[in-house]
Amino acid sequence: MFRRLPETAAQPVTVVIDGRPVRVPFDLTAAAAVLIGDGITRTTPVSGSPRAPYCMMGVCFDCLMEIDGVPNTQACMVPVAEGMRINRQVGARKVRS
Amino acid sequence: MPEPQPSDAIVIGGGLVGAAIGYGLARQGLKVTLLDEGDVALRAARGNFGLVWVQSKGPGVPEYQHWTRLSSDRWPGLAAELRETTGVDCAHERRGGFAICLTEDELEQRRQMLEVLRRQAGAVEFEYEILDHGALARRVPLIGPEVVGASYTPYDGAVHPLYLLRALHAGLLRHGARYEPNARVNAVHAAPHDFRIEARGTAHAAPRLVLAAGLGSRELAPLAGLHAPLRPVRGQILATERVAPAIPLTQKIRQMSEGALLIGDSFEEAGYDDSTAPQVLSALAARAVRTFPFLREVQLVRSWAALRVMSPDGLPIYEQSARFPGAFLASCHSGVTLAAAHAYPYAEAVARGALPDELARFASRRFDVPKAA
Domains of chain A with bracketed CATH: 12-87 (3.10.20.30)
Q: Closest Cα to residue B198, out of B215, B209, B184?
A: B184
Q: At what angle do helices B161-174 and B62-86 cross, to 10 degrees?
A: 60
pLDDT tens readout for residues B188-232 = 999 999 999 999 999 999 999 999 999 999 999 999 999 999 999
Q: Closest Cα to residue B178, out of B320, B17, B348, B35?
A: B35
The span from the CA of B283 to the CA of B291, in Å, is 12
E strands in chain A: 12-17, 20-25, 42-43, 50-51, 64-67, 70-74, 85-90
Query: What confidence category does residue B370 fall into, taking pLDDT thresholds of 50, 70 and 90?
Result: low
Question: Least CB-CB distance to A97: which of B142, B259, B298?
Answer: B142
- Quote the pLDDT of residue A1: 63
3-state secondary structure of B300: strand
**Chain A residues touching B244 at Cβ < 8 A:** 45, 91-95
3-state secondary structure of A68: coil
B→A interface, C-beta within 8 Å? 141-142, 241-244, 246, 258-259, 294, 297-299, 301
Question: Least CB-CB distance to B242: which of A92, A96, A97?
Answer: A92
CB within 8 Å: B243 and A91: no
Question: Least CB-CB distance to A95: which of B258, B294, B301?
Answer: B294
Which one of A95, A96, A97 would you mutate to disrupt binding with B, by most B Cβ within 10 Å of its Cβ?
A: A95
The span from the CA of B350 to the CA of B348, in Å, is 5
pTM over 0.90: yes
Asked if residues B230 and B308 have their Cβ atoms less than 8 Å apart, the reply is no
**Chain B residues touching A72 at Cβ < 8 A:** 241-242, 299
What ipTM does this complex have? 0.83
Per DSSP, what are the bridge partners of residue B206?
Answer: B195
Angle (CA) B134-B135-B141 rounded to 5° is 75
CB within 8 Å: B241 and A95: no
Question: Least CB-CB distance to A95: which of B258, B298, B301?
Answer: B298
pLDDT tens readout for residues B150-183 = 999 999 999 999 999 999 999 999 999 999 999 9
CB within 8 Å: B242 and A72: yes
**Chain B residues touching A64 at Cβ < 8 A:** 241
